[in-house]
Amino acid sequence: MDKLPYLFILNPNSGTSIGKKAEIIGQVIQNFAEKSGNQATVLFTKERGHATAIVRENLAKTNWKAIVAVGGDGTVNEIARALIGTDTPVGILPLGSGNGLARHLGLPLTLEGSLKRIFEGKIITIDSAQLNDIPFFCIAGIGFDAYVGYLFSQQSRRGLATYVQVSVQSYWNYKPQSLRLNGVDTQAFSLSFANAGQFGNNAWVAPQASLQDGLLDVCVIKPFPKWYGTSLAYRLFTKGLKNSRYIEYRNMTELSVEMDAPPVIHYDGEPMQLETNFIKIKINPESLRVIV
Ligand SMILES: Nc1ncnc2c1ncn2[C@@H]1O[C@H](COP(=O)(O)OP(=O)(O)OP(=O)(O)O)[C@@H](O)[C@H]1O
């Protein structure tokens, strides 16, 4: 049996209720590993960005079989960014709110099912991407979803219900943005750079996206009448956006976006206010190993 150890990094801030259960989940991971003849070290993050620091500190110390993100897409991002171009695979134990990458990959969403998959699954190599120097693995974007992500991050309550509430409230006053996409003037309600197909919670902005095609699926949601919003939302959750006249898809390996002012963006659901109005996005083919 292969005895290389696994490093699990748990973000107690992921999802809506890990916090109080973090220690118990850590214990479940340890017990499951032991029972299945594996070794696991479980570490807990203390703040935003800490997961990246933990990987960097520990990567050279031991030959890890895999480093597992216990949390949502933000936690996967923090861990995977330190594993790009290395042989060490990332595992995903999806305990976040949206779990876009895990859902795209069809991974189990239960604790036991995920642990079994992590210890028994196979490894594939996927593309990663970057927005300026920010790596992302699932989807990055500008526009309405970035704006909502930014407002959501300022709420004290998390979870899907809060997200829906913030989305609906901001929808009515939100105005499409003017930008230049590869130098061409474009009006967009939102612009998504999809490596994987969904934001999380099965909101499929680019259901056709593949993590292994060396391409980004760029989805432009063009300005639309407000009454059309429910139809777009329905299409988003039923993989039907492609048939809308307000949607345009392009496959690209890199692109540039220029805005009039530094925009709020999101990468893998993490909102961020940029300090520049020039954005370059590019794909890095076959750059991350993942357990599936
Ligand atoms: N110990 C911590 N305390 C506070 N925030 C943390 C801590 N560790 C990580 N974070 C931050 O928590 C945020 C949320 O993490 P994550 O994205 O994994 O969960 P989520 O938002 O519930 O899931 P998803 O992105 O799948 O919807 C990230 O911004 C991450 O940097």
Q: Are residues 202 and 63 in the same domain?
A: no
pLDDT digits (tens, 9 = 90+) for 9-38: 999 999 876 777 999 999 999 999 999 999
User: If you average pLDDT over each of 13-17, 117-121, 157-161, which comes out highest?
Assistant: 117-121
pLDDT digits (tens, 9 = 90+) for 233-254: 999 999 999 999 999 999 999 9
d(CA 246, CA 220): 8
For ligand 1, say whether the CB of 177 is within 6 Å of any of its atoms.
Answer: no
Q: Which atom of ligand 1 is nearest to the CA of 99?
A: 26
The rounded Å distance from CA 98 to ligand 1 centre is: 11
Q: Are residues 138 and 117 in the same domain?
A: no
Q: Which atom of ligand 1 is nearest to the CA of 158?
A: 22
* Residue 153 contacts residue 269 (beta carbons within 8 Å): no
Whether 194 is covered by a domain: the verdict is: yes
Mutation choice for ligand 1 from 48, 107, 268, CB with most ligand atoms inside 8 A: 48
The rounded Å distance from CA 74 to ligand 1 centre is: 5
Domain count, the chain: 2
Residue identifier of the C-alpha nearest atom 2 of ligand 1 = 47
Q: Are residues 173 and 225 in the same domain?
A: yes
CA torsion sign for 180, 269, 88, 43 is: positive
ipTM: 0.98
Q: Are residues 239 and 161 in the same domain?
A: yes
Residue identifier of the C-alpha nearest atom 11 of ligand 1 = 48
Q: Are residues 99 and 179 in the same domain?
A: no
Query: Which CATH number covers residue 163?
Result: 2.60.200.40
Binning pLDDT at 50, 70 and 90, where does residue 2 land? low
Selection from 138, 137, 103, 108 nearest residue 121 by Cα: 108
Q: How big is the CA angle at 202 (ends 217 and 107), to the nearest 5 degrees? A: 90
d(CA 48, CA 271): 13
* Residue 71 contacts residue 11 (beta carbons within 8 Å): yes
Q: Are residues 281 and 141 in the same domain?
A: yes
